Amino acid sequence: MRKAFADALNLAAAENPRVMLLTGDLGFQTFDEFHERFGPRYINVGVAEAQMICASAGLAREGWSPIAYSIASFATGRAFEQIRVNVTYPNLPVIIVGAGGGFTYAASGVTHHAIDDLAIMSSLPGMTVVAPGDPNEVTQLFPQVLELSGPSYFRIGRYGEPSYEADDPPVLGRARLLRDGQDIAVISTGDIAAVVLQALDLLKPEKVFPIVYQMHTIKPLDHAALDHLSSRVHTIVVAEEAIPSGGLASAIGDWRLSRRESPRVVRLGPPDALALGNLQRDDLRQRLGYDAQSIAQACIAASRVPQAG
Domain membership of residue 170 (yes or no) is no
Q: Is the pLDDT of residue 269 over 90?
A: yes
pLDDT at residue 277, rounded to an integer = 83
- % of the chain surpassing 70 pLDDT: 99
**Residue 164 domain-assigned (yes or no):** no
- The total number of structural domains that make up the chain: 2
- 135: domain range? 2-156
Q: What is the pLDDT of residues 43-65, one digit of tens each?
A: 999 999 999 999 999 999 999 99
Regarding whether 180 and 75 lie in a shared domain, the answer is no
- Same structural domain for residues 237 and 296? yes
Categorize the per-residue pLDDT at 71 as very low, low, confident or very high, splitting at 50, 70 and 90.
Answer: very high
- CATH number, domain with residue 224: 3.40.50.920
| pLDDT band per the 50, 70, 90 thresholds, residue 306 | low
Same domain, 220 and 277: yes
Q: What is the pLDDT of residues 86-118, one digit of tens each?
A: 999 999 999 999 999 999 999 999 999 999 999
Query: Which CATH number does the domain housing residue 127 bear?
Result: 3.40.50.970
Q: Is the dihedral of CA 222, 165, 187, 233 positive or negative?
A: positive
Q: Is residue 169 part of a domain?
A: no
Closest to 102 in 3D by CA, of 284, 278, 265: 284
For range 273-302, the mean pLDDT: 94
* pLDDT band per the 50, 70, 90 thresholds, residue 307: low
SS3 of residue 261 by DSSP: coil
Q: Within this chain, do residues 40 and 133 fall inside the same structural domain, yes or no?
A: yes
Is position 130 within any domain? yes
Q: Is the pLDDT of residue 149 over 90?
A: yes
Same domain, residue pair 54 and 127: yes
Please say if the pLDDT value at position 122 is more than 90.
yes
pLDDT tens digit sequence for 219-252: 999 999 999 999 999 999 999 999 999 999 999 9
Pair (7, 140) in one structural domain: yes
| Residue-level pLDDT at 32 | 92
Spell out the residues 6+ positions from residue 186 whose beta carbon is closer than 8 angstroms to its own. 196, 199, 210, 211, 212, 213, 236, 237, 238, 239, 295, 299
- 145 closest CA partner among 9, 299, 4, 302: 9
- Are both 100 and 204 inside the same structural domain? no
18 and 151 assigned to the same domain: yes
Query: Looking at residue 161, what is its pLDDT?
Result: 87
On the question of pLDDT at 309 being above 70, the answer is no
pTM of the model: 0.95
Q: In sequence order, what are the residues at sequence separation of 6 or more whose Cβ sits closer than 8 angstroms to the Cβ of residue 265?
A: 235, 236, 237, 238, 249, 252, 253, 256
Exposure letters 145-182 (e unless 16+ CB within 10 A, then b)? bbeeeebbbbbbbeeebeebebeeebebebbbebbebe
- For the chain, the average pLDDT equals 94
